[in-house]
Amino acid sequence: MRKHLAFSLRYFVFWIILFAAYRIAFIIYQFENLTTLRFNELVNILIRGAWMDASLTGYLLLLTFLLQAILFFVSPKALSKLFSAITLIFLFIVNIVVISDMELYRNWGFRIDATPLLYLKTPKEAMASVKTPMLILFVVLLAAITYLTHLAYRKWVAKGVEQAKPLKWWHSPIMLFIAATMIIPIRGGFGIAPMNPGKVYFSQNNFCNHAALNPVWNMMYSVSKSSTMNKTYMVEIDKDIAHQRFANLMHTDSTIHVLNINKPNIVIILLESFGAKLVGSLGGLPNVTPNLNRLATEGILFTRATASGDRSDKGIIAVLAGFPAQPTQSVIKYPTKSHKLATISETLYEQGYNTAFYYGGDPDFANIRSFLYHAKFQKLITQDDFPKNYRNSKWGVHDEHVFNYLLNDIDSAKAPFFKMFFTLSSHEPFEIPAKPKFKGKSEVEQFLSSAYYTDSCLGDFMAKAQQREWFKNTLFILIADHGHRQPANYPNYEPLKYGIPMIWLGGAVKQPMVVNTTCSQTDLAATLLAQLNLSHSQFTLSKNILSDKVMPFAYFAFNEGFGYVNQTDTIVYDLVGKKYIKQAGQNIPETKNDAWAFFNAYQEVFNGL
């Protein structure tokens, strides 16, 4: 029995060392964040991380002790082979998660959780963002690391097990007792609160906290919690006060009408990843979106528009339903909730508008198709409506072809119509059917070139549209689904990442103007419907920003956190660490109360769906 216990001890140490090595590799891979780390923070990352590593290792040890208790009559040789096979499976799964997490964190800004599993329903589209060389590298690394780590297990951990004496029946209760003690490392000690992500958070630098997380444990935790979307966070404000402040925040007065027609045709163009940093007219780079910059001078430019979330599935909900992004998975993936949301398209459909949605990819990705049908889109144009030779993007059909399809469709459309086009060419991996504008193969240069390509397609479309008779009766709304961490590689919680363009233009607009009111994607619903003299009371979290009196603010959410900005102040809060990541401005105490008032209202509406 002594050799069996020694094996278990070596097995525990093996996993602890392995997870520590993976954590160091993760930190090195996120080299852009290395300059923010101090030595004492690095030490704390390893110490705190080992705490969570021990929790996960506790589960593995629990299984090994249970097997030894149950299979006490099995020969040591057979038991050794069983443990070797189980370990190989564990290593394969762990290595998939660990390797994937390194790249996903660099793009998403949070450790791997249940989100990738939701995309596996559409594996082709899930893989579309992955470049072929990266996929090959992933497979090679997975095979090599799994082989080497399993070799280390066989050479060091499993050594001597086959020569151990067979277990006796009376060893079984001892093994069961030791298995029961694994609850201690699993729970993270003897405290009342079990192991959770907040237990390893220790720094004002969020990268330190993220680095301390064990990706496999974090993914297991997220999966266990994702069975329900009704996760409620504590708010730092009395509920009655929150309700009153929320009412004040959402109160508006009479509408300033900026359209010259009561029932215009409406076309929303949702631009993939077009953050404000790309748009020169918003203070971004001057030469990435020349057409968008020009169009901004021809219509109504909203200079302080903010994305509600950081993913396309959250952006579609925010724009169409006026509903904020979640600090967990997007509500679009949960039809029982998303189908209860009011939408712009459904409201217009009921007013006699002909509705259609255009997307060059597969709308089954992230459950988008289900939501679009609920939203009363009478026609969905997807990659299946184009010749196969047009599908030369990993995501489907490039923007130029869909813009042309949209233009031809509008030419024969019956007015009034509501059409929405979601672009895709500026999505990773930034493959475009044109010569790159920006030379170089870095991620930033490829992203900028893809945005420039989509902008050129947009410019060509608008130039042709202006020559059509229907243009004078049409309102075009250009808005992004979300921002992007590039250029400048902003972290996921950085407010500047959420700045986006919003421009209203077309013959239905009275005259060009600039609106400097802080607003959100979610405000489009109430604002647009107010211009059409339609009720927007069903959009309880959307406000009319073209009102004589309006409170300027925007809320945005990221993984397990949220932000709130107004004309002068910025608040960013970490819901796991229960701390403010950022506080800046002139009236922080009042802004905090407003932020919590809106967050409380959002939670109440969300949980009531």
Report which DSSP code applies to 390: G
Predicted pLDDT at 227: 60
Measure the CA–CA gap between 475 and 264, rounded to whole angstroms: 6
Measure the CA–CA gap between 51 and 198, rounded to whole angstroms: 12
Measure the CA–CA gap between 416 and 97, rounded to whole angstroms: 49
Identify any residues that bridge with 270 across adjacent strands, giving them in sequence order: 422, 479
The pLDDT confidence band at residue 254, using thresholds 50, 70 and 90, is very high
Using only C-alpha atoms, what is the Rg of the chain?
A: 27
- pLDDT tens string 518-557: 999 999 999 999 999 999 999 999 999 999 999 999 999 9
Rounded to a whole number, what is the distance in angstroms from the first to the last CA of the chain? Answer: 56
Measure the CA–CA gap between 540 and 71, rounded to whole angstroms: 60
Cα angle 524-228-326, degrees, rounded to a multiple of 5:
25
Asked if the model's pLDDT at residue 396 lies above 70, the reply is: yes
Measure the CA–CA gap between 242 and 304, rounded to whole angstroms: 25
Predicted pLDDT at 363: 84
Least confident of 114-123, 184-193, 333-342, 451-460: 114-123
Predicted pLDDT at 192: 65
The domain segmentation of the chain, as residue ranges, is 2-225, 256-593
Segment 467-474 shows an average pLDDT of 98
Cα angle 236-239-240, degrees, rounded to a multiple of 5:
135
- Mention every residue, 6+ apart, whose C-beta is less than 8 A from residue 40: none
Measure the CA–CA gap between 8 and 599, rounded to whole angstroms: 47
Measure the CA–CA gap between 311 and 510, rounded to whole angstroms: 33
The pLDDT > 70 percentage for the chain reads 98
- pLDDT tens string 76-94: 888 889 999 999 999 999 9
Cα angle 422-427-429, degrees, rounded to a multiple of 5:
150
227 Cα distance to chain centroid = 18
- pLDDT tens string 158-205: 887 777 778 788 888 998 999 999 999 999 988 766 888 878 888 868
The pLDDT confidence band at residue 228, using thresholds 50, 70 and 90, is low
What is the assigned CATH class of domain 256-593?
alpha beta
Two tokens, residue 81: 């082979």
Two tokens, residue 476: 């075009």
Closest to 480 (Cα-Cα) out of 238, 256, 229, 307: 307
Closest to 217 (Cα-Cα) out of 300, 114, 354: 114
Asked if the model's pLDDT at residue 144 lies above 80, the reply is: yes
Two tokens, residue 429: 């991996």
- pLDDT tens string 264-282: 999 999 999 999 999 999 9
- pLDDT tens string 354-388: 999 999 998 877 778 878 988 999 999 999 999 99
**Does residue 413 contact residue 354 with C-beta atoms inside 8 Å?**
yes
Q: Whole-number mean pLDDT of the chain? A: 92
The pLDDT confidence band at residue 335, using thresholds 50, 70 and 90, is confident
Segment 442-452 shows an average pLDDT of 96
Q: Which residues of 272-282 are buried (b: 16+ CB within 10 A; e: fewer)?
A: bbbbbbbbbbb
Most confident of 107-121, 183-197, 251-265: 251-265
Report which DSSP code applies to 420: E
Residue 41: CB atoms within 10 Å = 18
